[in-house]
Chains A and B, each alone.
Chain A
Amino acid sequence: MTSNQWLPLAVIASSLLPGLIIFALPEKRVALRTALNLAGALAKAGLVGLLIAGVAAGEEYGLRHAIAPGIEIVFKADALALLFVTLSAVLWLFTTLYAIGYLEHAPHRSRFFGFFSLCVTATMGIAMAGNLFTFFVFYELLTLATFPLVVHRGTPQAMRGGSIYLAYTLAGGAALLAGIVWLDHLAGPGEFTQGGLLAAIPGLDPLTLQLIFALLIAGVGVKAAIVPLHGWLPQAMVAPAPVSALLHAVAVVKAGAFGIVRIVYEIYGIEFAQSLGLLLPLAVIAAVTILWGSSRALFQNDLKKRLAFSTVSQVSYIVLGVALFGPLGTIGGLVHLVHQGIMKITLFFCAGNYAETLGIHKVSEMDGVGRRMPLTTLAFSIGALGMMGAPLTAGAVSKAWLSDGASAAGMDWAIWVLWGSSLLNAAYFLPILHRAWLKLPPPDWPHEEIHPVGRRETAWLLLLPPLFTAVLTVAVALFADSSFSPLAWVRLIAEREYPNISP
């Protein structure tokens, strides 16, 4: 086995093996468990660094294993895969630190961290899947590994959230499977191909392809939480904060969005999808989701639910970018995959801090919280401003490229959708910031658990991760034009997906 074959496997193993060992560890082995978690996360970050250097230099990484005639597990660490792999690996590192602090005295930590590692493993598999079969295998693994985390607390609400989550995701999985096998039957086994797998096969019936597209998008659309398949996401917010942060802001919803990217660009091919008339309906669904999610967020008093509806809306920015024909839209959508992840995880970390430190779960309880927890609230504010698309934040970069993409694709109405959404974002985030910074704190917090020590407003492990990601939110915007930014990487991908058009 050459290093180009084992590197993708090692990236997967770096979370799978620690996860399996952690399952077997007794609850009391805190130090060993923590060491394993951190070693895994650091090893993964290092391995991903090697991959990035290799892919940037034109190396090809991949591995295949036949399990039946015509059915192969294929891993391929191409530029697009690495976009998602890097995002997940970096945010996993932060979330692991955060979760160690968050769950310090909670029961069943071995189980929690075991499944948490499995989720990350599944995400890596989804990112590096080289064909739809492999994608599906890890997509369903993600469903299964997330369930125990959603119901982790074992309360009746958690049970209900878990059931709703399964109902949506298993049904979505069935639709996806039907689409994949149908496609496999029609076009034969094939891999994700730059420029599109189906585009290169002549003589396929357009109507059948449109039907299959609907099945596939419905399947991955459940995890991407596109309206009307989004109902599970707000319910799944009963999970502990690190789960909401990494899985429901990054891994799970992004797995869906990433699936849409792969299907549109590398199964159908963007030009072929355009000629089949598939992009306009997709753009309309994305636009509806963007506006619907933002409007629902306005009326949520529960902080995490407000953030969840905000996620529903923001993830569809990615879908919209995919559906805008042309490299500019592609860049906007793909870069938002990274940017939204960084911003939303910041917000969820902060929400977790408010809940863990002061017992604050509702927006109406946040009066004056900026005085008690200034650093957390600063991070929250940066994340919120980013979501609105304020200048000097990651959100502004995404929105600029998406708007340019919309006008280049001749869909000027999409620009209005983006502006409308920004206004709605402001309408549900600014009141929070106003409460937090300008109103007077109440005499007592709902349930103060962690008392301040000097300038330390909460536990270090809870405070540092959101500060890091808040800094990242600004940094990816400030250094967007440098050659190491997500934007630069996304432009590389766009160049490869549009061999005939230069951005």
Chain B
Amino acid sequence: MTPLLDPLAWLILLPLLWATLAFLAADRHGPMLALAGIGGQLLCVIALAGDVASHGSIGHLAGGWAEPLGIRLVADGLSLVMLLLTQGVALTLALYARSYFSQATPPAFWPLTGFLLAGMNALFLSGDLFNLYVTLELVGLAAVGLVAAGGGAAQIAAALRYLLATLVGSGAYLFGVALIYGSYGTVSASLLGSLITSEAPLAVWLAGGLMLTGLLLKTALLPFHFWLPPAHGGAPAPVSALLSALVVKASFYLFLRLWLGPFAALSEALPALAQVPAALGATAILWGSWRAIRADRLKMLVAYSTVAQLGYLFLIFPLLGTGALALQAGILQATAHGLAKAAMFVAAGTLIKVGGSDRVLGVAGAAAHLPVSLFAFALAGVTLMGLPPSGGFLAKWLLIDAALAAGQPWIVVVALSGGLLAGIYVFRVLRLAFRRPTTHDDVPLPQRPAALLEWTAFALAAGSVLIGLGAAPLLALIAGVQP
């Protein structure tokens, strides 16, 4: 393939390109550049999909240089699904953001979004541990910048907290990479997969611990979740959606990759290790849901729901021995949650913008004047509760099936209780929305928001539900992944 037509390289170059242009051009050109750019990226992913579906995995050295000079890019079913999710959600969010920020765009919103997407795409496509470190930093710093772009004192504080977490996380990761390089003289993920055995020296175990813990910190798995609610709950709605739907999934993806690839021998040598992320995940589901049930502000409720929902992703680790089932459950959950959480944050953003209050109580009566946004919120809630026919439901079904196959019934109990707890916090909002406004009957109804604000949320939410009915191709892609 000629380098000029290589979709792998363009997936990284294109966002860098439009981000730079958006930085140089006036603010008002940002949305068009972003929409055109992300549209192009989406086309690249689609071009890639056919190849991956027929070959299983494709990879080559970008620019034709040999390693270590050349950068090795690889795509398989797993990365394809993540790429598709990322471009699809980002495109819809760009439409939303264009309308949401119609008065004033926060400084550098569009360039930072471009750099964020470049970092994420590179993360999904990179095959060596050091490049992955670079992508992690790019994603982390762009995300911190987006949180800070909100501009308020609370947002700056949240951004600093987030910055600390992300720097410590990538620092730990980098330290681990250094130890690995010292032991084996390579950072290629595929080579390391066969080099690292259960008799690996202590330094390698230490490296694994550091890298995986660093990633947990970035994924905000309990007890490392402290930075997430203020950052995701405080940022402007389009940013919250980007961070909660996509960014935390990137570090989860890397955790999963390392677990299945380079460190597979370590986790097989000590099977009890897999219970650690699962136990943390279970605690996250219960604690995050509880905090969402108690939350006072609407976006904090949604943010704590993310803390809980991320927990499901880590329940799959003790079940990975059961074939593709657990991996399918995890990736489907990541996808469905990505769509649903983006929908929920942007719907919440519209409810807050129009209703004028960021309290949960502020949604009272919204069923009457913001039916589309509320319906989007409800549909997204269906996915989070894991009710049929949503993607969240199918993921939960597969997870329970895998848990039974692996003889881990406690995971069944956690998954089902998590759904019920989600029901409590989702319906806490919905029932309020149906409440008849009691006091200010004479206050005129708030103005209808731009249609785009409401319908982008609806499209994302509908996607999270419909994916449950059309998951067969996605599941087939995951089943074809060779760790």
| Least CB distance, B440 to chain A, in whole angstroms | 15
Cβ contact within 8 Å between A111 and B367: yes
Residues of A within 8 A of B387 (CB): 140, 143-144, 173
Cβ contact within 8 Å between B434 and A178: no
| Least CB distance, A309 to chain B, in whole angstroms | 25
B422-454 with Cβ < 8 A to chain A: 423, 427, 430-431, 434-436
Cβ contact within 8 Å between A163 and B388: no
Q: Is chain A's interface secondary structure helix, strand, loop, or mixed overall?
A: helix
Cβ contact within 8 Å between A171 and B420: yes
Residues of A within 8 A of B398 (CB): 68
Cβ contact within 8 Å between A181 and B431: no
Kindly state whether residue B416 has any CB partner on chain A within 8 Å.
yes
Cβ contact within 8 Å between A185 and B404: yes
Residues of A within 8 A of B412 (CB): 178, 181
Known: A181-B404, A185-B401. A69 touches B475 (CB 8 A): yes
Per-position 1/0 for A148-187, Cβ under 8 A of B: 1001111100110011001000110110011001101100
Cβ contact within 8 Å between B416 and A177: yes
Known: A68-B398, A141-B388, A184-B401. A148 touches B434 (CB 8 A): yes
| Least CB distance, A9 to chain B, in whole angstroms | 14
Kindly state whether residue B279 has any CB partner on chain A within 8 Å.
no
Kindly state whether residue B63 has any CB partner on chain A within 8 Å.
no
Cβ contact within 8 Å between A67 and B388: no
Q: How many Å lie between the Cα of A181 and that of B389 in the bound state?
A: 15
Kindly state whether residue B382 has any CB partner on chain A within 8 Å.
yes
Kindly state whether residue B39 has any CB partner on chain A within 8 Å.
no
Residues of A within 8 A of B272 (CB): none
Closest to B398 in A: A68
Q: How many Å lie between the Cα of A393 and that of B389 in the bound state?
A: 41
| Least CB distance, A128 to chain B, in whole angstroms | 15
| Least CB distance, A322 to chain B, in whole angstroms | 25
Q: How many Å lie between the Cα of A221 and that of B412 in the bound state?
A: 21
Known: A136-B388, A181-B397, A185-B405. A151 touches B434 (CB 8 A): yes
Kindly state whether residue B400 has any CB partner on chain A within 8 Å.
yes
Cβ contact within 8 Å between B400 and A181: yes
Kindly state whether residue A501 has any CB partner on chain B within 8 Å.
no
Closest to A69 in B: B475
Known: A68-B471, A178-B400. A111 touches B371 (CB 8 A): yes
Residue among A111, A151, A178 making CB contact with B416, cutoff 8 Å: A178
| Least CB distance, A491 to chain B, in whole angstroms | 34
Cβ contact within 8 Å between B388 and A71: no
Residues of B within 8 A of A447 (CB): none
Cβ contact within 8 Å between B419 and A71: no
Residue among A107, A137, A154 making CB contact with B388, cutoff 8 Å: A137
Q: How many Å lie between the Cα of A155 and that of B430 in the bound state?
A: 14
Residues of B within 8 A of A151 (CB): 431, 434
Residues of A within 8 A of B385 (CB): 170
Q: How many Å lie between the Cα of A144 and that of B381 in the bound state?
A: 11
Residues of B within 8 A of A68 (CB): 328, 394, 398, 471-472, 475
Q: How many Å lie between the Cα of A182 and that of B394 in the bound state?
A: 15
Q: How many Å lie between the Cα of A170 and that of B418 in the bound state?
A: 12
Known: A71-B394, A144-B387. A159 touches B472 (CB 8 A): no
Cβ contact within 8 Å between A159 and B420: no
Residues of A within 8 A of B365 (CB): 154
| Least CB distance, A129 to chain B, in whole angstroms | 11
Per-position 1/0 for A75-114, Cβ under 8 A of B: 0000000000000000000000000000000011001000
Residue among B397, B400, B419, B431 making CB contact with A159, cutoff 8 Å: B431
Q: How many Å lie between the Cα of A178 and that of B431 in the bound state?
A: 27
Per-position 1/0 for A45-81, Cβ under 8 A of B: 0000000000000000000011111010100000000
Q: How many Å lie between the Cα of A466 and that of B371 in the bound state?
A: 34
| Least CB distance, B424 to chain A, in whole angstroms | 9
| Least CB distance, B393 to chain A, in whole angstroms | 8
Q: How many Å lie between the Cα of A108 and that of B366 in the bound state?
A: 12
Most chain A CB inside 10 Å of its own CB: which residue of B398, B434, B468:
B434
Known: A67-B468, A68-B394, A69-B475. 8 other contacts (CB 8 A): A68-B328, A147-B430, A159-B431, A163-B427, A170-B420, A174-B420, A177-B396, A177-B416
Q: What are the 8 closest A-B residue pairs judged by CB atoms, nearest first?
A: A154-B436, A137-B388, A185-B404, A181-B400, A174-B416, A151-B434, A170-B423, A140-B387
Q: Which residues of A come within 8 Å of B, CB atoms? A: 65-69, 71, 73, 107-108, 111, 136-137, 140-141, 143-144, 147-148, 151-155, 158-159, 162-163, 166, 170-171, 173-174, 177-178, 181-182, 184-185
